[in-house]
Structure 1
């Protein structure tokens, strides 16, 4: 698998640990069509590979991920945003959301524990992704934002399903309703990350050491620990994902969303009117 070419990731395997690195191709490792297509394939391959006992997930360059690549995904959103979009367009959009949810769930459902290492920005879909990891570390320069509300969207691929079990309901509501940015220290205080390291090098060293510790334990027992810990939460997560996919298919199309996307392309602040 290490020799396989991916468009949105680099994958290497050594000493029973797979390192999966986001590479874009969008700016800041933004999540475009290649990301959503390749991530579940990578997770499935690593899940089957007996030479992999733990996974390290990180981003290339200065940032973990800017989140959803709106320009690259605009075509997929176009049909449901069209005026008077009816059942077919909404059904196709619902199917797309479920596929994207499945990509993030592939990380959570992988039997091999996943350690996320975050530097720089981790926005929107980036937070969805790390919420599916088992352990999260950050460098001191990391910043996090559940920013979908600022682009007239309800986050729909995992944050709302998984973060209440990680940071608690009150902290999640604050982040989700304001769309504010928080730094690594705040992320540590609310439990979003397990530890904060001074720099990127220290971050990777710590994440690699933890992944190696996991890989040194009996692999079937490690998988059993993860399975038991996930057992009671899995039905609630799936119910939340199904509900938000249906909600967004019905209510996402709006003048405010069109304005938000236009503002992104025109590089200006949006003007929301509640329509």
Structure 2
């Protein structure tokens, strides 16, 4: 396969392991991530030798989520010319491109298992919401943190997580932006099982992938297709709605304050403007 900048892709027999590698701190999701993710999963989807995929992160953490400094050019024109249609349209197209990157994971016909260690924040949660099965190590922590940076989550968590953890738990996570540990994540159904450490969860994910790969591949793909069918339209409609909502309403003093506070390493002061 190609030499990737934000990932490594390895294959052992009929199992592929896709590893987030950054280059942002904590495998933060910058331009390379969003460009390469759909390419990788497109290749895996069409590779007849691959029967299951394990998705994990390099180092101590799965992902810190969106790389705000690297992605600042996406937001800059929208904030500078917030009254104009052109930057809003450009932003709408950018959001839909990011959504399509994650949807490529959900649409992959090969089952995808996430092995999560350390932090899984924001875009990281969007990503694991798009996989089929989620496992975690005991020290893993999860956060749907967009509300804390003046953003309505728009890359898939709000659309996919209701079917995984239910409306009540999702609303709690999305409205507070709070952090939860692996034990709570398992309790609410976000993850299937908790393992002692990073090595153990990765080994468990590969064992589960091999168990899936031992079944007839077309039947496995058929099961995934049938399970995905009832929610596919609802997810697609929700993604289009939130992208349009953010293009219309995202420009705010609070968003500017959130981004400045990140660069200045201080708590934000939101004023609802």
TM over 0.5: yes
| Structure 2 CA distance for aligned equivalents of residues 25 and 116 of structure 1 | 20
| Structure 2 CA distance for aligned equivalents of residues 173 and 258 of structure 1 | 25
TM-score (norm 1): 0.99
- 2:147, 2:176 within 8 Å by CA — same for their partners in 1? yes
| Structure 2 CA distance for aligned equivalents of residues 85 and 261 of structure 1 | 19
Residue 197 in structure 1 maps to residue 199 in structure 2: no
Residue number in structure 1 paired with 2:232: 234
Q: Matched residue of 2:76: which SS?
A: helix
Runs (4+) of structure 1 exceeding 4 A deviation are: none
Q: Cα deviations across residues 154-209 of structure 1 (Å, max 9, x unaligned)?
A: 00000000000000000000000000000000000000000000111110111000
Residue number in structure 1 paired with 2:30: 32
Residue number in structure 2 paired with 1:162: 160
**Which of residues 147, 151, 154 is equivalent to 1:153?**
151
Query: Matches of residues 33-112 of structure 1 in structure 2 within 5 Å?
Result: 33-112=31-110
Q: Matched residue of 1:250: which SS?
A: helix
After superposition, the CA RMSD in angstroms is: 0.6
1:86 Cα deviation (Å)? 1.0
Residue 251 in structure 1 maps to residue 249 in structure 2: yes
Residue number in structure 1 paired with 2:263: 265
| Structure 1 CA distance for aligned equivalents of residues 231 and 11 of structure 2 | 30
Unaligned ranges ≥5, structure 2:
none
| Structure 2 CA distance for aligned equivalents of residues 242 and 21 of structure 1 | 28
| Structure 2 CA distance for aligned equivalents of residues 48 and 228 of structure 1 | 19
Residue number in structure 2 paired with 1:172: 170
Q: Matched residue of 2:180: which SS?
A: strand
Residue 134 in structure 1 maps to residue 132 in structure 2: yes
Q: Matched residue of 2:9: which SS?
A: strand
- 2:82, 2:251 within 8 Å by CA — same for their partners in 1? no
| Structure 1 CA distance for aligned equivalents of residues 71 and 197 of structure 2 | 32
**Deviating more after overlay: 115-124 vs 81-90:** 81-90
1:75 Cα deviation (Å)? 1.0
1:83 Cα deviation (Å)? 4.0
TM-score (norm 2): 0.99
1:81 Cα deviation (Å)? 1.0
Q: Cα deviations across residues 192-246 of structure 1 (Å, max 9, x unaligned)?
A: 0000001111101110000111111111110000000001100000000000000
| Structure 1 CA distance for aligned equivalents of residues 101 and 168 of structure 2 | 27
| Structure 2 CA distance for aligned equivalents of residues 15 and 221 of structure 1 | 19
Unaligned ranges ≥5, structure 1:
none
Q: Matched residue of 1:272: which SS?
A: coil
- 2:82, 2:88 within 8 Å by CA — same for their partners in 1? no
